[in-house]
Structure 1
Amino acid sequence: MDRFILLMLASILAGFALLKAPLTGTFLSGLQPVTDLIGILAIVIFSLVLIFKGVMALVSK
């Protein structure tokens, strides 16, 4: 499998990890909205890249 695709999948998983990170009760609790935004953006952007790469692979064959 292509290393680029594995990197995109790992980035999507990292986005989900940022969304599920329990920051309440720590000194980072003020950063919760920022980490949620970064996680959502990572999931959306890297998912769109994977969809684009898949469509391009289907069209080229």
Structure 2
Amino acid sequence: MDRFIFLMLACILAGFALIKVPLSWSFFASLHPIIHFIGVLAVLIFSLVLIYKGIMAILGKHK
């Protein structure tokens, strides 16, 4: 399978990890809204890229 696809899946998992990371008792507790936003943004962007690549593969227009 293409390494690019595995990279996108790893980025989605990293986004979910940023969403779920417990920061309540750490130094980064004040950054929780920013870290949560970055995680959601990562999941959305990389999921959309995977959907786009899948549609292009179905239509036969992939590289």
SS at match of 2:27: coil
- Give the gaps of 5 or more residues in structure 2: none
Aligned to 1:56: 56
Q: d(CA) in 2 for partners of 1:54 and 1:15?
A: 20
Once the two structures are superposed, residues 6-43 of structure 1 have per-residue CA deviations (whole angstroms, 9 ceiling, x without a partner) of 00000000000000000001111001001000000000
TM-score, scaled relative to structure 1:
0.97
Q: d(CA) in 1 for partners of 2:24 and 2:54?
A: 38
Aligned to 1:41: 41
Aligned to 1:19: 19
How many correspondences in the alignment? Answer: 61
TM-score, scaled relative to structure 2:
0.94
Percent identical pairs in the alignment equals 62
Q: d(CA) in 2 for partners of 1:32 and 1:19?
A: 9
Amino acid paired to 1:7: L
- Give the gaps of 5 or more residues in structure 1: none
